[in-house]
Structure 1
Amino acid sequence: MLAILIGGGLALLVSLLGTRVAINVLTQHGYGQEIRDDGPTTHHTKRGTPTMGGVVIILATLIGYAGSKLITQDLPSASALLLLFLFVGTGLVGFLDDFIKVAKQRSLGLRSKAKMIGLTIIALTFGILALSPALEDDRGQTPASHHISFIRDYETITLPTVVVLALIWVIIAGTSNGVNLADGLDGLATGASVMVFGAYTLVNIWQNNQWCGQTGLDQPALCYEVRDPLDLAIIASAITGACFGFLWWNASPASIFMGDTGSLALGGALSGFAILSRTELLLLVLGGLFVMVTLSVMIQVGVFKASRASGLFRAVFRVEAGHRVFRIAPIHHHFEMLGWEQVNVVIRFWIITGLSVAAGLGIFYAEWVAGT
């Protein structure tokens, strides 16, 4: 527990103080955010606000984790190193996207294909290493598994390595882009991330207390086959602290944005926690807000294209060509276009995240209680 507290506290302090420094440095170099022209007009006042603040979140997390290891005199685990690789790697893809935006002074950075290629390389490298027998512990556990999982692995379903890698790619790419899409209002993605990573801190602490690798368990049949739950809890705590510190400056009116550097990194880390803690499907509940935002974009694009391409679709659903379900997607901008104040949208979406996290943790604990 000491390492978890040190990691979170140190990351919070570094992020809180470091973000102030980052605002000054980014402002001096003119690294300001470009705003999409088709979005809400109220966002035009944000043009020029420093971006790429996700660099601070990443550095604060790394410092928090490294500090906890130095103070407790413990070595990093394979799961922790893989998760940090995924966290930093997806953040690097986002950094390139942000840098192109500020360098060329446009709202679009990396082309979608280039961004997806970068995420694919990171995801497959992570997946291959996480499944590698070379990273087995003394109990034969690899960081990732060949099983589908909700709260724990379904041992009756063993998937081929190729299928597992494909699923890992889908989870990482989908979650990274989901957090990225949610990062459209001051403090929205940051505040939601605090809650979801806080939930994973609790999940990993519980898994560590009921870990199959220890002796003397009250309920050995309900233990968790996770390779390094304690180290995962330390990183989850560090990211939670880093997001808390950043939120001080990112809350409305934001003095800095995390940019794709932060949103892709946080999404990558979330997917990593789901994979390494054997809770892939539980992530859909804990990250309910990100799922909702992603679905709003998929529905908007799908209906728009279908209504233009298919006369049958228009006849069945009685819509015109180019029909839009929402005034604008993602869905948080739709509510802005309806006249909601930005702060109201953010707070209500935080409430949705809180309910999702409460439901996810409730399901997680109820599964354990039901089996006792």
Structure 2
Amino acid sequence: MIAILVSSALAFLVAVLATSYLIKFLRAYKIGQQIREDGPKRHVSKAGTPTMGGIVILLGVLVGYLGAHANLGIPISSGGLLVLFAALGAGLVGFLDDFIKIRKARSLGLTKSAKILGQIIVAGLFAFGAHFWAHVPSSIDFVRFSGFAFHVPVWAWIVFATLVVIGSSNAVNLTDGLDGLAAGSAIFAFGCLTIIGYWQFRHESVYHVSSAIDIGIITVAMCGALAGFLWWNAAPAKIFMGDTGSLAIGAALGATTLIMGLDLWLAILAGLFVIVTLSVVIQVISFRVFHRRVFRMAPLHHHFELIGWPETTVIVRFWMMAGIFTAIALGLFYADFLSIGNLIKQ
């Protein structure tokens, strides 16, 4: 518990302080966000806002994680290192994307093929390591050992895990379109994972997730870092996280649930991110097949902006949705735990 508190506090302080200095640095060198031309007109005023704030989020997580381990006697686990690898690797892909946008002064960075290739490499290496180094079973579970699982060949699980990390990474990236939306929504998810990580640690004989407490330290560090970044990112944002942050956050979210055996449960925890992603899929399919748009603009949050909702209204209501999905996911996890307890007693 002390390690969890230390990790959160260190990550928050690092993110709050480092973001302030990063804003000054980026402004001094006139490094700012390029706004997509087809986006909502009110976003034009955000052009030039410092970006790549995901750098301080990752820095906060690293400092929080390492600080919590210092002199506390908690071993660093393979699962924890793999989650950090997924976050840092995806963050690097996002950083290259952000850097090209700034360098060439356009709203598009890496080509789609280059971006997805980078994500496949990072996610694939994570998936391979998760099974062969962290010894994650090759089964697709709702909650590990709940009885609701699909046992698949190793190669199929690696493919599945790769797709989960890529999908969650891009889902958060799509949600990162309004000031503080992605950061605030992700805090709910990582806060829930922190509780579950500690719970799995206390009931290791049931879940057999040896790295649960180590991953809990990472997820609470992510909460602290996101909260510290949100201090500056809340509307009106003084800095954006960029793809550096959104891809890293999403990859960490997917990687964490895979290590913890919460594969299918992720779809409920990340319900808001799933809905936003589906809005893009629906819009694309509808336009290409029927030549009609379902939404005024995708992702979904831009649709609500265009029908007249103020930006802060969209953000707060989406945060509420994220909180509701988190509560449902936590309730289902606990209900599953009770059912496991009954099976053990029998």
Q: Same fold (TM over 0.5)?
A: yes
In structure 2, distance between residues paired with 1:155 and 1:279: 11
CA contact (8 A) 2:142 2:149 kept: no
- Determine whether 1:63 maps to 2:63: yes
Q: Aligned runs of 1:94-109 on 2, under 5 Å? A: 94-109=94-109
In structure 2, distance between residues paired with 1:283 and 1:155: 14
Identify the match of residue 363 of structure 1 among 324, 328, 332: 332
In structure 1, distance between residues paired with 2:4 and 2:292: 50
CA contact (8 A) 1:185 1:342 kept: yes
TM-score relative to the length of structure 2: 0.96
Shift of 1:371: 3.7
Q: Aligned runs of 1:236-251 on 2, under 5 Å? A: 236-251=219-234
Shift of 1:155: 8.0
Q: Aligned runs of 1:1-372 on 2, under 5 Å? A: 1-132=1-132, 135=133, 142=135, 144-153=136-145, 154=147, 157-212=150-205, 223-307=206-290, 322-372=291-341
Tell me the matched-pair count. Answer: 340
In structure 2, distance between residues paired with 1:173 and 1:365: 28
For structure 1, list consecutive stretches of 5 or more residues without a partner in the other structure.
137-141, 213-222, 308-321
CA contact (8 A) 1:86 1:122 kept: yes
SS in 2 for 1:71: coil
In structure 2, distance between residues paired with 1:284 and 1:261: 23
SS in 1 for 2:4: helix
Shift of 1:368: 1.3
SS in 2 for 1:208: helix
Shift of 1:76: 1.2
CA contact (8 A) 2:31 2:102 kept: yes
1:268 maps to amino acid? A
Kindly, what percent of the aligned residue pairs are identical? 46
Shift of 1:211: 0.6
SS in 2 for 1:131: helix
Shift of 1:151: 1.3
Q: Rg bigger for which structure?
A: 1
- CA 1:338–1:157: 2 relative to 1, 3 Å: closer
TM-align CA RMSD: 1.1
Shift of 1:295: 0.2
Query: Can you list the C-alpha shifts for 1:268-303, whole angstroms capped at 9, x where unaligned?
Result: 000011100000111111111000000000000011
For structure 2, list consecutive stretches of 5 or more residues without a partner in the other structure.
342-346
- CA 1:130–1:371: 2 relative to 1, 3 Å: closer
